[in-house]
A and B are shown apart, each in its own frame.
Chain A
């Protein structure tokens, strides 16, 4: 079956522009997570969706970051007025249950010039 997919795989943008990153989780997975990973660093939690519950946004670094999940499936992470420090790989993961095995997508590498 299909795994978690993310698009685009690479995104180069100019400082100040808005970007949208997309995640298609594994069908049937109710939990969806967004992480950020800078080069050689660990996984920084950003936001978590579980079913129809209110998302856990506690990891979003600023109000320039937002995410939504439509129909309990596809999720979009939006970064407004991008800054150079936003450059990183953005990873999406989904799981069947809250802290079960997470299946990660290939990530979107964001470069802000």
Chain B
């Protein structure tokens, strides 16, 4: 089977940098995705890493280390609007036909 672990909550202040970690266990690996979900909203896609290294998109970056079965989402210059839940996800190694989502990390950004 597969499992993903991420912290349940993270707190930071505006303007700071925060890192949300995700470790996974899967028999096959086809990439790590990140999704953002604001309260009452639908999840939206943030990033996808298939290869090791850092992918940068504006204030957000995502990192993957396949040898460590580990990735993280890095949010810089935090803004209040970044307060949301963040989910990491990996493809189902069994059937490759769905994403398995982590339980989510709730980020609270304070002034």
Interface residues, chain A, CB within 8 Å of chain B? 33, 40-43, 45, 48, 50, 56, 91, 93, 98-99, 101-107
Chain B interface size, as a band, is 20 to 34
Closest 9 CB pairs of A and B: A104-B42, A99-B91, A42-B103, A101-B45, A43-B101, A48-B98, A42-B104, A104-B43, A56-B97
Q: Could you tell me if B98 and A91 are in contact, using CB atoms closer than 8 angstroms?
A: no
Q: Across the interface, which residues of A come within 8 angstroms of B33, CB to CB?
A: 99, 101
Chain A interface SS verdict (over half)? loop
Q: How far is the CA of A105 from the CA of B44 in the complex (A)?
A: 10
Interface residues, chain B, CB within 8 Å of chain A? 30-31, 33, 35, 41-45, 48, 87, 91-92, 95-104, 106
Q: Could you tell me if A33 and B87 are in contact, using CB atoms closer than 8 angstroms?
A: no
Q: Could you tell me if A104 and B44 are in contact, using CB atoms closer than 8 angstroms?
A: yes
User: Can you list 5 contacts pairing A with B, beta carbon distance less than 8 Å?
Assistant: A41-B103, A42-B87, A56-B97, A99-B31, A99-B92
Q: Could you tell me if B43 and A43 are in contact, using CB atoms closer than 8 angstroms?
A: yes
A42-B87, A42-B103, A45-B100 known; A56-B43 Cβ under 8 A = no
Q: Could you tell me if A102 and B45 are in contact, using CB atoms closer than 8 angstroms?
A: yes
Q: Across the interface, which residues of A come within 8 angstroms of B104, CB to CB?
A: 41-42
Contact of B99 among A40, A99, A106 (CB under 8 A): A99
